[in-house]
Amino acid sequence: MKRRLSSAMKAIVVREFGGLEVMKVENDVAVPPIGNKQVLLKVEVSGVNPVDTYIRGGQYSRLPDLPYVPGVDGAGFVEKVGPSVTRFKPGDRVFCCNIGRWGTLAEFSSVDESFVFPLPPSLTFQQGAALGIPYFTALRALFQKAGAKHGERLLIHGASGAVGLAAVQIAKAHGLEVVGTAGTEAGLKLVKQAGADSVLNHRQRGYLDSLTAGDKFDVILEMLANVNLGVDLPLMKSHGRTVVVGSRGTVTINPRDLMGSETCVMGVALATSTLSEWEEMGTKVDEGIKAGWISPVIDKVYTLSQAREAHNDIIHSTGAKGNLVVQVRE
C-alpha cells in the first residue's frame, strides 16, 4: 500500500527579514508543492552557509518572497517528482543547492531538478548537506573563473572554512601547489590534513614575511576580501588571478599592484552560473566523490531548534573548522 504524504511539516519559517529572532520553528507548515520539473526532497540534513544569513537579513541580491524557509544546501531522499523529471525517482539519495522560497530547514523542500544531484552511499547525509555551496563555489572559483591549471601555485586565504577546505581538496586532486591560511591550530591542522602543501597562521603578525618573490601565486582565493585584498594583490605572479569568494565590508587597494604585472581581481557568485555550468560542476563533484578526493569535513551538528545558533556561529565563530549542518530529522 502506497504511503500517503502528510500535508503538513515542521520547518523554520522567516516572515520578515532581520536578525536571528525572525527564525521560528513552526509545526504545521504546508508541504511545498512541486512543479513540472521539480523534486520534493525529504530533507534529512540542512547545510549552513554565510549566504543563508545574508538572505535572512535581507542583504542578498536575490531575495525570496516572504514568508520563506531558509536553507540553501540539503541532503535526503527524493519523496516525489514532477511529471517531466527524468533524472530522479522516489527513494533516490540526493543533495541539493537551492536558493528559493522553500529551503532545506524543513522536513520537505521543493527543488528544481537542475539543482538536485545524486548522493553516493560513500557519503553520509551530513556530508551531503555540506556539498552544495562549498564545493560548487570552490569549483567555480578555481576553474570557471580563475582557469587554474595543473602545476600552478595557489593561495587560499581562509582555508579552514567550508569553501576553503573544499578548494584544498579539489586543487590538490588537480595538481596545484596549495598554500592555505587559518587562524587556529585546529584550523591549520585541518587544512594540512586536507592536502595543503604548507599552512600559515593569518593571525600571527608578519605571517607573510617569509614569502619571497619566488613564492608568489598564480591564483589566490580570498574568503575575507575586506581584510586581505590589499595584501593579496602584491602576492600575485605576472598574469595572476585573485578570486573574491567572501567579503564583509569595503577595502582600499592600490591599483598599481595590478598594472605592472597585468594581474586581475574577479568575484564569484553561484547564482550567476548558467545551467550548463551547474551541470559541469555537478559532474565534477560526482567524479570527486567516486574517486575519493571530495570528502566534506563536518565541524558541528545542530538540531532544528538550534538553527538560530547555527546562523550565529557561521558568522561569529572564533576559527572556522569545516562545515556546520542542521539535523532536520532526529
Tens of pLDDT, residues 305-315: 999 999 999 99
Return the pLDDT at 28.
Answer: 95
Return the pLDDT at 101.
Answer: 79
User: Residue 220 CB: number of other CB atoms within 10 A?
Assistant: 27
Return the pLDDT at 3.
Answer: 54
Please state, in angstroms and rounded to a whole number, the distance separating the CA atoms of residues 77 and 108. Answer: 10
Residue spans of the chain under pLDDT 70? 1-5, 213
Q: Tell me, letter by letter, the H, E, C secondary structure of the chain.
A: CCCCCCCEEEEEEECCCCCHHHEEEEEEEECCCCCCCEEEEEEEEEEECHHHHHHHCCCCCCCCCCCEECCCEEEEEEEEECCCCCCCCCCCEEEEECCCCECCCECEEEEEHHHEEECCCCCCHHHHCCCHHHHHHHHHHHHHHCCCCCCCEEEEECCCEHHHHHHHHHHHHCCCEEEEEECCHHHHHHHHHCCCCEEEECCCCCCCCCCCHHHCEEEEEECCHHHHHHHHHHHEEEEEEEEECCCCCCCCCCCHHHHCCCCEEEECCHHHCCHHHHHHHHHHHHHHHHHCCCCCCEEEEEEHHHHHHHHHHHHHCCCCCEEEEEECCC
- Whole-structure pTM value: 0.94
Please, what are the domains in the chain? 8-131+296-327 (3.90.180.10), 134-271 (3.40.50.720)
Return the pLDDT at 5.
Answer: 65
Cα 294 to chain center, whole Å?
13
Question: Which amino acid is residue 171, in one-letter code?
Answer: A
Return the pLDDT at 4.
Answer: 56
Question: Which grid coordinates are listed for 201?
Answer: 597562521
